[in-house]
Amino acid sequence: MEFFEQFGTNLSKKGKDVAKIAKDMSEVFKLNSKISSCEETIKTTYEQIGKKYYDSHKTEPAEEYQALFTKIADTYASIAHYRDEIQSIKGVDICGSCGAKMPVNSSFCPSCGIKREENASSPSEATTEDITKEMDTLKEEIFEE
């Protein structure tokens, strides 16, 4: 009898241990996710500090920041360059009246509202023509032999 009593006690003790471990684990999980969110806050705050410093010292960065400032300026230039490329791929026209960029398929300038000139050259059509010409040249080259 004593053996079974002992066995029963051990079992319920084991059960408590398992429950405690599960509870501890979920507690640790919660704390870890709190740490992650704190680290995220620190990261975005650092970014804000950096952006503020950059904006207010753009013209005269302290010497130790010069390389980093150049890196930021160069990267902004890259973004502007890639945006230009996207616009030329999408086919953007310049408004003859106000000089704003306007999509080739729009009938009115989104900036000044003037009607698009009927005979305005369309970069996307030119591109299609270029591609057709290019393909004809390729065909000739392939079939000539």
Which residues contact Zn ion by CB under 5 A?
A: 95, 97-98, 100, 109, 111-112
Contact 115, 108 (CB under 8 A): yes
CB of 67 to Zn ion, least distance (A): 41
What contacts 69, CB < 8 A, 6 or more positions away?
54, 57, 58, 61
Least gap, CB of 44 to Zn ion (angstroms): 39
Nearest distance from residue 99's CB to Zn ion, in Å? 7
Do you know the residue count of the chain? 145
Helices (H) then strands (E): counts for the chain? 3, 2
